[in-house]
Amino acid sequence: MVKGAEAVHAANPDVLVILSGLNFDTELSFIRDRPVSLTFNGKLVFEVHRYGFTDGGAWVDGNPNEVCEKVTANIKKTSGFLVDQGWPLFVSEFGGDLRGTNVNDNRYFNCFLALLAELDLDWAHWTLVGSYYFREGVIGMEEFYGLLTWDWTQVRSTSFLNRIQALQLPFRGPGIIQGFSYQLIFHPLTGLCIISSMPDKLMLGPCSVSNGWKYTSQKTLLVDGTNFCIRAKKEREFATLSTTCSDPNSKWEMISDSKLHLSSKLGDGSNVCLDVDDNNNIVTNACKCLSKDKTCDPASQWFKLVDSGKRSTTSTSTFSMFNSAEILWKALGLI
């Protein structure tokens, strides 16, 4: 590994040097005890891969909250710790079946996108291509992980492109003004964030225009710089903004093993969780799929508090600048 890194640096001192891990590039924990010692600095990047099948059929066979907690803990132990040490960590491969029918991959995506947002990782998706000239003995084999369809003329899943759009811009670091930190409330299932539509309505919208939020020590979710907080009213009703922020309806606990449910206690003693209706409005419903049950999917109720801050300039992701198909064709140099 060290010899290879030094050889790349010697060949071109201006390029980044990317070091891979073991076990299909999922394991970098050996770096914790044996740090890499090189003759250069400031351009070393570690890379990691992760797929739904990395954990076999765990996502189908287990409760999504419980599996998400275990997988997240494993990733942080085997590679994510490098971020805490100040190293760049690049997810150079992740992906899944984009037809939307693979339960294992669908559940994995919901959890993994939350982790990508939390750690603010750079990433590359496997893969762009919709088919191969020849693969595994098959001519014209279709690639269901591909962003493009079999004939390369359409986007296979525009909803997936929309989901990863928010992850193209850094949540922290370059472009974020120091001293203006806050949090975003990210919804992995849609790739959107909670935004307020005054006077008191809450809905999902692009993370690039989201409100900043503060999760306080009193467990309230305040709109940054204001006295407005998110408040539950009743089950199956809209969550609202309110200046009444001291009662139980305004306290939000991160519950379940995944810590992706935001739960509040109503006046009658029942608990509700933030959820999303068919029109992307934020509502409160009975908390679902918290443990044990492997047949239900809690994804609509999964929200991740992501550290971020005010941007120095207005930025948009690459995918938001063009029609999804157009940007992919531009990338290929075909238009």
Domain ranges for the chain: 1-126, 128-169+316-335, 176-308
Q: Residue 186 region, left (φ>0) first, then alpha (ψ -120 to 50), else beta?
A: beta
Of residues 27 and 325, more confidently modeled? 27
d(CA 198, CA 206): 16
User: Is the CATH code 2.80.10.50 the one for domain 176-308?
Assistant: yes
The CATH number of 1-126 is 3.20.20.80
- Tokens standing for 300? 């609509």
pLDDT value of residue 330: 63
Give the integer Cα–Cα distance in Å for 241 and 220.
11
In the predicted model, is pLDDT for residue 314 greater than 60?
A: no
Does residue 333 have a pLDDT over 80? no
d(CA 115, CA 73): 10
Checking if the pLDDT of 325 tops 70, the result is no
Q: 44-51 and 89-95 as β-strands: parallel, antiparallel, unpaired?
A: parallel
- Give the per-residue pLDDT at 252: 99
Least trusted range by pLDDT, from 7-21, 105-119, 146-160, 199-213: 199-213
Average pLDDT, the chain: 93
Statement: residue 154 has pLDDT above 80: yes
pLDDT of residue 321: 42
Alpha-carbon gap, residue 107 to 113, rounded angstroms: 10
pLDDT of amino acid 200: 80
Tell me the pLDDT band of 90, cut-offs 50, 70 and 90: very high
Q: Is 127 helix (H, G, I), strand (E, B) or coil?
A: coil
Q: What pLDDT is stored for residue 322 in this prediction?
A: 44
The whole-number pLDDT of residue 15 equals 97
Q: How far apart are CA 213 and CA 228, in angstroms?
A: 10
pLDDT of residue 197: 77
Chain mean position to CA 8: 32
Tokens of 221: 């979710």
Q: Is the dihedral of CA 163, 169, 173, 176 positive or negative?
A: negative
Residue 175 has pLDDT above 60, yes or no: yes
